[in-house]
Amino acid sequence: MSGLFITFEGTEGGGKSTQVALLAGRLRELGHHARVLREPGGTPIGEEIRHLLKHSPANAVMMPEAELLLMNASRAQLVLEVIRPALTAGEIVLCDRFYDSTTAYQGHGRQLDLALVKSVIDFAIGDTRPHLTLLLRVPTEVSELRRNARQAATAGPRDRFEEADRAFFHRVERGFQRIAEGEPERVKIVDATQGIEAVHEEVWRHVAPHLLPLGEQ
């Protein structure tokens, strides 16, 4: 039995982690085996790469090309070690970010050649593609306010990506929009400016039809 692969995408401050957790809880209540992952990360190797990419004091001069390769090194490990075996076992895999983030952040945001970005992604993931991608969309200005509020409220480690300027995040936002326009059957846009429960219900409306082949009426 093959499983179901759902990814959550969007710029910073869209509430992806919250919505992944809510969806996982609802699926488990219905008796499904829902596995929650995140990118970069999700494996011991991937988590070390995540620290290097986001939090390490040594990453201040990281080049976009190195960023692209590290992202996809983590992704290749995740796909081979976790995602493919889970799908083969019939699980529902929920991933907080996947390759669309690389297209948006490293391709559009860092302005790397999109054909090159795609070739690196394809090498990392092979034929492992999401069945459904939920793009939690908030305007750049809302994202900025939420990021600032989060940073003020917590004493967590610095996040190198959140240090980028507004022009970068505008490019990322436009990148996600182009992805959604190019694959409307897979990528569903969710208005993440709504309240948490309203966003969850909109997410569920997109997810529910995919559960029918898994036996959920």
Tokens representing 83? 């995602």
What pLDDT shows up at residue 152? 62
Tokens representing 42? 């999700």
How far is residue 115 from each of residues 63, 108, 120, 162, 168, measured CA to CA in Å?
18, 11, 9, 25, 19
What pLDDT shows up at residue 1? 46
Alpha helices in the chain (DSSP H): 16-29, 44-54, 64-78, 84-88, 99-102, 114-125, 140-153, 166-182, 196-211
How far is residue 214 from each of residues 89, 90, 144, 207, measured CA to CA in Å?
12, 9, 39, 12
Cβ atoms of 184 and 49 within 8 Å: the answer is no
Residue by residue, pLDDT tens for the chain (217 residues) are 489 999 999 988 889 999 999 999 999 999 999 999 999 999 999 999 999 999 999 999 999 999 999 999 999 999 999 999 999 999 999 999 999 999 999 999 999 999 999 999 999 999 999 999 999 999 888 777 766 666 666 666 778 988 888 899 999 999 999 999 999 999 999 999 999 999 999 999 999 999 976 665 3
| Cα 164 from Cα 170, distance rounded (Å) | 11
The bridge status of strand 92-96 relative to strand 34-38 is parallel
Backbone angles phi, psi at 124, to 5 degrees: -70, -35
| Cα 169 from Cα 53, distance rounded (Å) | 17
pTM for this structure?
A: 0.93
What pLDDT shows up at residue 173? 95
- Three-state DSSP string of 9-47: ECCCCCCHHHHHHHHHHHHHHCCCCEEEEECCCCCHHHH
Q: Domains in the chain, please, with CATH? A: 4-214 (3.40.50.300)
Which residue has tokens 């970068």?
168
Q: At what angle do helices 114-125 and 64-78 cross, to 10 degrees?
A: 20
What pLDDT shows up at residue 155? 64
| Cα 183 from Cα 186, distance rounded (Å) | 6
